[in-house]
């Protein structure tokens, strides 16, 4: 488990104090893929560099795997960092070294014997899908392959925590998905705790279990990804959710539906988690003497489950429609909103 209490980082700039991380307190469970999202300048990259003391905290306490990182001296910190891997946006590879030599570098620093080093490097090359590219140099690799080298290097010393600072920001969408799938695979196979720093909500959606939203150096909202997606509270969170869920588009769609479908009652149904797999519409049609017309719908998947929106036109006697709406309201993980009722 990672425990962070009152973490603060203040930089001096032209005799002015700039607070990059401000009284941040957070608990991250062991084995979690935990996302931290924020716009540029929110303090998220400074935060992740504080975790392994690439940046020194101004104040606060960081405990990783029962070891207080903020209390270690230089020698102790060097040893502790072997248990904290890190991958970067721009790969940070050694361009004069081959793939296998880049991966071996932290093992050399740790004093691992040559034969053991070679065996570990080959394990990691196989794990990240770079078999056959052992002798290639970074200049001969694609962006995705370079990041795979960076991931393998970060895993060399069997860390318990992997820090990812904008690890997919320099990659195209297809390569991004491949790298995210690799991180999920690593998390499941090795039981690593992964902290993922990003400004891209689709990255959070795809692989994170929990998310914290940063603004002006503070955590302004956090929780289960599905909960944050379906019920964002802070304005900055709503903007991020809007990127992936198309909230503005949905508002336009509602206006168009009201204009184009003049008869009956229009319902907006929201399905959360397991409810996206239920045959609710079929059940309603069987139970009640009403006519249903599905107008529009979509399902967005997150690591924690699906989130779906469905627009339905309902026609029939008002009493029967009211009974159907009541039935929907009784369902777990389904929310219903009457967006127009002309009966």
User: What are the angstrom distances between the C-alpha of 92 and each of 5, 121, 181, 187?
Assistant: 30, 18, 21, 22
Q: Shortest CA distance to 34 belongs to which of 21, 53, 24, 48?
A: 48
Residues 279-306: pLDDT tens digits? 788 888 888 898 888 888 777 777 667 7
pLDDT tens sequence across 114-169: 999 999 999 999 999 999 999 999 999 999 999 999 999 999 999 999 999 998 88
Give CA–CA dist 292/255, Å, rounded. Answer: 19
Q: Where are the beta strands (DSSP E) in 217-264?
A: 218-224
The rounded radius of gyration (Å) of the Cα atoms in the chain is 25
What whole-number distance in Å separates Cα of residue 319 and Cα of residue 288?
10
Q: Which residues neighbour 227 within 8 Å (Cβ) at sequence distance 6 or greater?
A: none
204 vs 252: CA distance, rounded Å: 26
Q: What is the pTM of this model?
A: 0.80
What averages of pLDDT result for each successive group of 10 residues across the chain (343 residues)? 94 88 94 94 93 94 93 92 90 93 94 94 95 94 94 94 91 91 94 93 89 95 88 89 62 66 81 69 87 81 73 87 87 79 59
- What is the model's pLDDT at position 243? 72
Residue with tokens 């991020």: 240
Question: Tokens for 4?
Answer: 């962070």
3-state helix, strand and coil shares in percent for the chain, rounded to the nearest 5? 40, 30, 30
DSSP strand pairing (59-64 vs 218-224): unpaired
**Strand arrangement of the beta sheet that strand 210-215 belongs to:** 84-88, 161-165, 193-198, 33-37, 210-215, 218-224
Q: What domains are defined for the chain?
A: 2-244 (3.40.50.300), 247-341 (3.30.70.260)
Tally Cβ neighbours within 10 Å of residue 1: 13
- Spatial CA neighbour of 260 closest among 271, 252, 268: 252
């Amino acid at each position: 488990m990672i425990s962070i209490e009152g973490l603060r980082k203040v930089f001096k700039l032209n005799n002015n104090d700039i607070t990059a991380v401000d009284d941040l307190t957070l608990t991250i469970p062991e084995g979690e893929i935990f996302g931290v999202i924020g716009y540029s300048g929110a303090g998220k990259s400074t935060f992740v560099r504080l975790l392994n003391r690439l940046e020194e905290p101004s104040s606060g306490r960081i405990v990783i795997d029962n070891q207080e990182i903020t209390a270690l001296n230089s020698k102790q910190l060097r040893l502790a960092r072997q248990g904290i891997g890190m991958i970067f946006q721009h790969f940070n590879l050694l361009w004069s070294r081959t793939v296998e030599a880049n991966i071996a570098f932290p093992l050399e620093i740790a004093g691992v014997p040559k034969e053991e080093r070679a065996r570990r490097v080959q394990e990691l090359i196989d794990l990240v899908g770079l078999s056959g590219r052992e002798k290639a140099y970074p200049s001969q690799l694609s962006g995705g392959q370079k990041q795979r080298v960076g991931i393998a290097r970060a895993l060399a010393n069997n860390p318990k925590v992997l820090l990812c600072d904008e690890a997919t920001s320099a990659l195209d969408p297809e390569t991004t998905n491949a790298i995210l799938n690799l991180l999920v695979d690593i998390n499941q196979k090795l039981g690593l705790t992964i902290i993922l720093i990003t400004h891209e909500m689709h990255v959070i959606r795809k692989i994170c279990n929990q998310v914290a939203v940063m603004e002006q150096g503070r955590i302004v909202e956090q929780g289960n990804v599905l909960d944050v997606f379906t019920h964002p509270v802070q304005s900055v969170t709503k903007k991020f959710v809007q990127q992936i869920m198309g909230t503005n588009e949905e508002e336009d769609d509602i206006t168009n539906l009201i204009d184009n479908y003049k008869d009956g009652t229009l319902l907006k149904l929201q399905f959360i988690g397991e409810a996206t797999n239920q045959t609710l519409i079929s059940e309603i049609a069987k139970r009640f003497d009403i006519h249903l017309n599905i107008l529009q719908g979509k399902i967005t998947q997150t690591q924690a489950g699906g989130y779906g929106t469905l627009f339905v036109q309902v026609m029939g006697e008002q009493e029967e429609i009211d009974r159907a709406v009541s039935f929907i309201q009784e369902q777990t993980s389904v929310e219903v909103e009457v967006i127009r009722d002309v009966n």
